[in-house]
Chain A
Amino acid sequence: MDSNTDISPELMFTETDIGRRNRFVENVFKIFFFIMTCLMILPLLLIIGYLFYKALPVLSLDFLFTNPKDNMRAGGLWAPFLGTIYLVVVSLLVAAPIGVFSAVYLNEYARENWFTRIVNLAVVNLAGVPSIVHALFGVGAFVLFAGLGESILAASLTLAIMTLPVIIASTTEALKAVPMSFREACWNLGATRWQTIRRIVLPNSISGILTGVILQVSRAAGETAPIMFTGAVFYKAIAEGNVFAYNITDQCMALSLHLYTISTQVPDVTEGIPYGTAIVLVGSVLLVNAAAIVLRVYLRTRKRW
């Protein structure tokens, strides 16, 4: 009754033709996926390596802490570097609380109805709007209508509008990662929604929420279009070494716009300076992203289920 008894035990595990084919296909796909992964990393390494090589002659601490000189043909990056920091910090100070708290509302309180469907639709569509459109909206809403003029504040608010939908999406994802059964258990104990959020949901989703917010730093720092009509300028000298050199009603320089102007608008720039600018921009973004990863790893070691 057992057909396997006809075959000797050794033969039962010899590879058949089908087994050989399966193994071959298995390897082909494994290698294919591996090559694709390498292709993904390669450009990043090449770009950073090339930039670094070209920028080497100008890179120094002075480069970071002195203003551009000689119509940007010499000097450093202090004014644009500080300007980018201002823009990113102010925009996140606005976008992070609004984004995180509205995601908490949508995910933890709101029932599915026409209102939440419209909000979710708006979030998805807002994320797909090109940045130049955000720029025009910023000019209309903040610079002209709200009367903020071209200023750090107006530019930051424009960036905030741009990063908001992504923060909402990443926060929602982090909240959904907390199992529903935890919430039900709390509700069954007579806990209110807020008590449940405060004691269970937020403590266990904060790492994902923070990571999502921090990753928006790179987006805000890299954008040129939304800031060039709303507050970023071609040139502005500020006090070197003073981190409070800008006022939020001032216009400012920014790394992304600076890189654009010195590469396209200014003739005879020292060759290393645009590359140096790019390295500072990419480097700070990577630094912030690395911080996000470290934070995530640290908080994940404390994962509690």
Chain B
Amino acid sequence: MENKIEISDLKVYYGDKQALNGISLDVYPNEILGIIGPAQSGKTTLLKVINRTLEFTQDFSVEGSVKLDGVDIYSIGDVHALRRRIGMVLPLPVGLPLSIYDNVAFAPRTSGLRDKAELDVIVERCLTQAALWDEVKDRLDSLGTKLSGGQQQRLTIARALSHQPEILCLDEFSIAVDPITTMRIEDVLKDLKNEMTILLVTNLVQQAKRLANRTAFMLNGDLIEIDDTDVIFSENPAEKSTYDYVNGNFG
């Protein structure tokens, strides 16, 4: 099967500071790729390269290539179309200051969808996929910002799904979410895997162990190791630092 994403020798600099030191990795279709590693290891930067939102930062530069379905994403014409193919969920939940309905309908509307019936379908589908529909179906008009943290994070996921993305990137989604909601979202991700490819950046190594097919370990801007999750979490991964990090003998 073709690789969904192919990253080769990716280097990223913020000003003089190098954040990624030449990373090469492939992402397979319909897998959950867990990305673990301590702070400052370049996990978030990697995601920002993939949907090209790094371009909103000052003074960055990117070298190397990132291909989505074989197309170099840094040579495409419409960057907004790229971002619509990639759902992105950030660490802190962000309910936009709009109604719950408008939060989910935001992205389809920006690409020109006006038909109320179609939007209704999308809103219900996405909120259902994000395990939020039953809690909010009677108050779709109330503000997304007034929901609880866990609900807002599921709203954020619902919003990220509204374009039917092929790739879903989650950056430490459970950081501001209670454990029960985290478990519900994890179940959601297991289902979503059938429809899309998921990149899961997480600080909780056990979360990667529970969900990911393969896991990548990053450290200080280097990709130390990427392998099947079973191998990474086994007694003998290829690198000793991987074993140390996964088992908490680190730093």
- Contact, CB under 8 Å: B80 / A188: no
- Tell yes or no: B88 within 8 A of A by CB: yes
In the complex, the answer to whether B53 meets A200 with C-beta atoms within 8 Å is no
Extra inter-chain contacts (17) besides given A189-B162, A192-B80, CB under 8 Å: A181-B92, A181-B94, A182-B94, A185-B96, A188-B90, A188-B160, A189-B84, A189-B88, A189-B106, A189-B107, A190-B82, A190-B110, A190-B163, A191-B80, A200-B96, A304-B97, A304-B145
Q: Is the CB of A188 within 8 A of B97?
A: no
| B106 to chain A: closest residue by CB | A189
Which residue on chain A has the smallest CB distance to residue B89?
A188
Inter-chain CA distance A225–B30, complex, in Å, is 72
Contact with B along A267-305 (1 / 0, CB 8 A): 000000000000000000000000000000000000011
Considering only residues 168-206 of chain A, those with a C-beta below 8 Å from chain B are 181-182, 184-192, 195, 199-200, 203-204
Provide a sorted-by-A list of 17 A–B residue pairs whose CB atoms are within 8 angstroms: A181-B92, A184-B53, A185-B96, A185-B156, A188-B53, A188-B160, A189-B163, A190-B82, A190-B83, A190-B107, A191-B106, A200-B96, A200-B97, A200-B98, A304-B98, A305-B143, A305-B145
Q: B150 on the interface (CB 8 Å rule)?
A: no
- Chain A residues near B162 (CB, 8 Å)? 189
Q: Footprint of A on B, CB under 8 Å?
A: 51, 53, 56, 58, 80-84, 88, 90, 92, 94-98, 106-107, 110-111, 143, 145, 156, 159-160, 162-163
> By the criterion CB–CB under 8 Å, are B97 and A182 in contact?
yes
Binding site for B on A (CB under 8 A): 111-112, 181-182, 184-192, 195, 199-200, 203-204, 304-305
CB-based contact B110/A195 at 8 Å:
yes
Of all chain A residues, the one with the shortest Cβ separation from B57 is A111
Evaluate whether A187 and B92 lie within 8 angstroms (CB atoms) in the complex, with A204-B97, A305-B97 already known: no
Instruction: Output the nearest chain B residue to A304 by Cβ-Cβ distance.
Output: B97
How far, in whole Å, are A184 and B143 apart by their CA atoms in the complex?
Answer: 19
Contact assessment for A185 and B94 in the assembled complex, using a CB-CB cutoff below 8 Å: yes
State A215–B79 Cα separation when bound (angstroms).
41
Point out the residues of chain B lying under 8 angstroms from A184, CB to CB: 53, 56, 90, 94
By a CB distance below 8 angstroms, the chain A residues around B106 are 186, 189, 191, 199
Q: Which residues of A contact B159 (CB under 8 A)?
A: 185, 189
Decide: B83 and A187 in contact? CB cutoff 8 A.
yes
Please report the C-alpha to C-alpha distance between residue A186 and residue B145 in the assembled complex, in whole angstroms: 15
- Chain B residues contacting A191 (CB-CB under 8 Å) are 80, 106-107, 110
User: Which residues of B sit under 8 angstroms from A190, Cβ to Cβ?
Assistant: 80-84, 107, 110-111, 163
In the bound complex, do residue B58 and residue A112 qualify as a contact, i.e. CB atoms below 8 Å apart?
Answer: yes
Q: How far is the CA of A124 from the CA of B159 in the complex (A)?
A: 40
Most buried by B among A187, A190, A191: A190
Residue numbers in B under 8 Å from A189 (CB-CB):
83-84, 88, 106-107, 110, 159-160, 162-163
CB distance from B164 to the nearest CB of A (A): 12
Give Cα distance in the complex from A305 to B83, angstroms: 26
In the bound complex, how far is the Cα of B92 from the Cα of A187, in angstroms?
15
Specify which chain B residues have a CB less than 8 angstroms from the CB of A112 in the assembled complex: 58
The 5 closest A-B pairs by CB, nearest first: A304-B97, A190-B83, A190-B84, A305-B145, A188-B88
Interchain CA distance A22-B107 in the complex, whole Å: 55
Q: Is the CB of A182 within 8 A of B160?
A: no
Chain B hits for A204, CB < 8 A: 97
Distance of A300 Cα from B92 Cα, bound (Å): 24
Most buried by B among A112, A185, A188, A204: A188
Q: B residues within 8 A CB of A304?
A: 97-98, 143, 145
Q: Write out the residue numbers on chain A whose beta carbons fall within 8 Å of the beta carbon of B81.
A: 190
Residue of B nearest to A303 (CB): B97
The docked-state distance in angstroms from the alpha carbon of A188 to that of B81 is: 11
Q: Of B83, B92, B98, which contacts A188 at CB under 8 A?
A: B83
